[in-house]
Amino acid sequence: MASLWSSLEKEVFNPQNKKLLEAITVWKTGKKKKMSILCVVVDAFRPMQPFLVKVKVDRGEQYKMAYRWPLAELKLVDGKTLDQVNLDFDLQFDKIYKWTASSFDEKKTFIRCLWKLNHRFLSSAITFVNVHSCSVEGRQGLQEDRRDTVETENQEELSVYQEMTPKEAADVLKLMEEHEPLVNNSIAFAEQLSRDLHVLDEANLRAIISSEKQVTQLMSFIDEALAEVARVEETLQVYDELLGSVKQQMDHIHQENSLLHHITSNKAKLMDEILFLTTHLDLGKEHCEALSCADLSSPSGVEACIAAAEALSACMNIQIQSGYRKLQAVAEQLIMFETLKQNFENRFIGHITNTFERQGSAQIPALTHPMDQLSAPSHRLQHEELVPYTPLMAWLRNANPVLFCDLPKVYAQNLSRLYDKEIKAFFEQAKTLLVGRRKGSLQEGLEKPTGMGSRQQPRWSIPGSREDQEDTLNKGNVIKILEQVLRELRPLCIAEQLFIEKFFQLRQNSAKVLEEEGSTASPEDPACAKPPSQPEEQTAQLLSEIFSSLDPELRCFLDVCNKAHPFSCLQILVTLNDCIFEMWRKTSALPSSFLNTVLGNMLLLAKSSFNKCIGTLCKEIEEAKVPSKMKVGILPSVSRFEEFVNFSEAVFGTAQRRAELDKAHLRLADSVFNSINSLSSANLKVNTDMVMMENFHHVYCFLCQKKIQCLEGKKKEAKQRYSEHMEKYVIRSLGQPLEKLNHFFEGVKARVAQGVKEEEISFQLAYSKQELRKVIERYPGKEVKRALETLYRKIHKYLSPEENLFPVVWHAMEQELLRQYQEFEDLIQRCYVGSGITMEFTMEDLLSYFNSITLSST
Q: How much is the pLDDT for 734?
A: 60
Angle (deg, nearest 10), helices 659-677 and 688-706: 160
171 and 108, same domain (yes or no): no
Residues 121 and 200 grouped into a single domain = no
Is residue 189 in a domain?
A: yes
| HSE of 758, CA atoms in CB hemisphere, 13 A | 10
The answer to whether residue 41 scores a pLDDT higher than 90 is yes
- Same domain? For 116 and 211 the reply is no
Q: Is the pLDDT of residue 805 over 70?
A: no
Could you tell me what percent of the chain has a pLDDT over 70?
Answer: 79
In-domain check, residue 66: yes
Task: Please determine, for residue 704, whether its predicted confidence score (pLDDT) is greater than 80.
Answer: yes
Q: Check whether residue 8 and residue 124 sit in a common domain.
A: yes
Q: Is the pLDDT of residue 174 over 70?
A: yes
pLDDT tens track for 765-792: 777 888 878 888 777 777 777 777 777 7
pLDDT tens figures, 707-750:
887 888 888 887 888 778 777 777 776 655 677 777 788 888 88
Q: Is residue 338 part of a domain?
A: no
Phi, psi dihedral angles at 369 (to 5 degrees): -110, 165
Q: Answer yes or no: are the C-beta atoms of 74 and 92 closer than 8 Å.
A: yes
Cβ-based burial of 270 (10 A; exposed 0-12, middle 13-18, buried ≥19): exposed
d(CA 478, CA 430): 10
CB 77 within 8 A of CB 128: yes
- What's the rounded Cα separation, in Å, for the pair 451 and 664? 19
784: enclosing H helix or E strand: helix 781-798
Question: Sorting pLDDT into bands at 50, 70 and 90, what band is 141?
Answer: very low
Q: Is 670 exposed, middle or buried, given 0-12, 13-18 or 19+ CB atoms closer than 10 A?
A: middle
Domain check: are 117 and 170 in the same one?
no
pLDDT at 38: 93
In a domain, 737, yes or no: no
Position 727 scores a pLDDT of 76
**Confidence band, pLDDT 50/70/90 cuts, at residue 517:** very low
Residues whose CB is less than 8 angstroms from the CB of residue 222 and which lie 6 or more positions away in sequence, other chains included:
none
Q: What is the DSSP string of 225-292?
A: HHHHHHHHHHHHHHHHHHHHHHHHHHHHHHHHHHHHHHHHHHHHHHHHHHHHHHHHT---HHHHHHHH
Strand 18-28 and strand 96-101: pairing? antiparallel
**Residue 541: per-residue pLDDT:** 87
pLDDT tens, position by position, 293-333 = 888 888 898 999 999 999 888 888 888 888 888 888 888 88
The confidence score (pLDDT) of residue 769 equals: 81
Are the beta carbons of 44 and 18 closer than 8 angstroms? yes
Q: Does some domain include residue 784?
A: yes
pLDDT at 430 over 80: yes
CB atoms within 10 A of CB 344: 24
Bridge partner residues of 129 (DSSP): 78
Task: State mean pLDDT over 129-153.
Answer: 52
Can you give the pLDDT at residue 646? 83
Residue from 521, 636, 501 nearest 582 by CA: 521
Q: How sure is the predictor about 62, in pLDDT bands with cuts at 50, 70 and 90? A: confident
Residues 75 and 170 in one domain: no
Asked whether 730 and 809 are in contact (CB, 8 A), the reply is: yes
Closest to 688 measured CA to CA, from 642, 654, 724, 655: 724
pLDDT of 516 reads: 45
Whether the predicted pLDDT of 52 surpasses 90 = yes
Predicted confidence (pLDDT) at residue 450 exceeds the cutoff of 70: no
Whether 216 contacts 229, CB under 8 Å: no
Q: Is the pLDDT of residue 91 over 50?
A: yes
Identify which of 623, 634, 629, 630 has the alpha carbon closest to the alpha carbon of residue 691.
634
Distance from C-alpha of 223 to C-alpha of 218, rounded to nearest angstrom? 9
Which residue would you say has higher pLDDT here, 507 or 297? 297
Q: Is residue 754 part of a domain?
A: yes
Domain C-terminal end among 252, 281, 310: 281
Separation CA 351–CA 358 (nearest Å): 11
Tell me what the mean pLDDT of segment 147-175 comes to. Answer: 59
Q: What is the pLDDT of residue 683?
A: 55
What span, in angstroms and rounded, lies between the C-alpha atoms of 369 and 19?
A: 96
Mean pLDDT across 519-544: 60
Residue 354: the pLDDT is: 93
Phi and psi, residue 628, nearest 5°:
-70, -30
Average pLDDT value for residue range 465-469: 40
DSSP 683: -
Q: Are residues 208 and 94 in the same domain?
A: no
C-alpha triplet 268, 271, 275: angle, nearest 5°? 140
Is the link from the previous residue into 299 a cis peptide, with omega within 30 of 0? no
CA 615 to chain centre: 41
| pLDDT for res 478 | 76
Among residues 281, 301, 324, the one where a domain terminates is 281
User: Is the pLDDT score of 2 beyond 60?
Assistant: yes
Indicate the average pLDDT of the chain. 77
Same domain (yes/no): 801, 847:
yes
Confidence bin at 466 (pLDDT 50/70/90): very low
Distance of CA 526 to the CA centre of its chain: 22
Q: Are residues 194 and 271 in the same domain?
A: yes
Summarised one tens digit per residue, pLDDT across range 351-364 is: 999 999 998 888 77
Between 64 and 459, whose confidence is greater? Answer: 64
Range of the domain at 192: 166-281
Average pLDDT over residues 515-529: 43
| Same domain assignment for residues 175 and 115 | no
Q: What is the pLDDT of residue 388?
A: 92
Q: Report how far residue 168's alpha carbon sits from residue 644's, in angstroms, rounded to the nearest whole number.
A: 142
Residues 706/785, Cβ–Cβ less than 8 Å: no
What values do phi and psi take at 57, rounded to 5?
A: -115, 120
Residues 516-520, mean pLDDT to the nearest whole number: 41
Residue 804 confidence class, pLDDT cut points 50, 70, 90:
low
Q: pLDDT tens for residues 19-32?
A: 999 999 998 887 77
Q: Distance of alpha carbon 380 from its chain centroid, rounded? A: 37
More confident residue, 448 or 91: 91
* Burial class of residue 290 in the structure, from the number of CB atoms within 10 Å of its CB (0-12 exposed, 13-18 middle, 19+ buried): buried
Q: Are 596 and 529 in contact (CB under 8 A)?
A: yes
Kind and range of the H or E element at 199?
helix 186-210
pLDDT at position 54, please?
Answer: 92
Report which residue type is found at 154: N
Q: Average pLDDT of 158-186?
A: 68
* pLDDT on residue 632: 57
116 occurs within a structural domain: yes
Helix (H, G, I), strand (E, B) or coil at 99: strand
In the prediction, which pLDDT does 672 show? 81
Q: What is the average per-residue pLDDT within 450-455?
A: 34
Least confident of 25-29, 155-159, 474-478: 155-159
What is the pLDDT, as a whole number, of residue 391? Answer: 92
| Number of domain units in the chain | 3
Range with the poorest average pLDDT among 141-145, 297-301, 620-624? 141-145
For 154, half-sphere exposure in the C-beta direction (CA atoms, 13 angstrom radius) is: 6
Mean pLDDT of 386-404: 90
Specify the pLDDT at position 725. Answer: 77
Comparing 9-13, 303-307, 673-677, 798-802, the range with the smallest average pLDDT is: 798-802
Q: Which of 36-50, 265-279, 553-567, 644-658 is predicted with the least confidence, judged by mean pLDDT? A: 644-658
Residue 590: pLDDT above 50?
no
The model's confidence at residue 520, banded by pLDDT at 50, 70 and 90, is: very low
Residue 232's pLDDT is 92
Supply the pLDDT for residue 163.
65
Q: Which helix (H) or strand (E) holds 121?
A: helix 104-121
State the pLDDT confidence band at 845, using cuts at 50, 70 and 90. confident
Instruction: Give the pLDDT mean for 483-509.
Output: 83
Alpha-carbon distance 596 to 582, whole Å?
11
| Residue 158 pLDDT greater than 60, yes or no | no
Among 22, 15, 11, smallest CA distance to 58 is for 11
pLDDT class for 523, splitting at 50, 70, 90?
very low
Taking 90 as the threshold, does the pLDDT of residue 39 lie above it? yes
404 pLDDT above the threshold of 50: yes
Q: How confident is the model at residue 347 (pLDDT cuts 50, 70, 90)?
A: very high
Give the pLDDT of residue 267.
93
Where a domain ends, among 256, 281, 306?
Answer: 281
Q: Assign 459 a pLDDT band (cuts: 50, 70, 90).
A: very low
CB 430 within 8 A of CB 557: yes
Q: What is the pLDDT of residue 370?
A: 53
Distance of alpha carbon 84 from its chain centroid, rounded?
78
- How far apart CA 542 and CA 521 sit, in angstroms, is 27
Could you give the 3-state DSSP secondary structure of residue 562?
helix
C-alpha to C-alpha distance for 317 and 305, rounded to whole angstroms: 18
Residue 202 lies in a domain: yes
Helix axes 285-293, 299-316, angle to 10 degrees: 120
Percent pLDDT > 90 in the chain is 9
- Candidates 532, 539, 546, 534; CA nearest to 501 is 539
For the chain, report the end-to-end CA distance as a whole number of angstroms.
135
In contact, 481 and 432? CB cutoff 8 Å: no
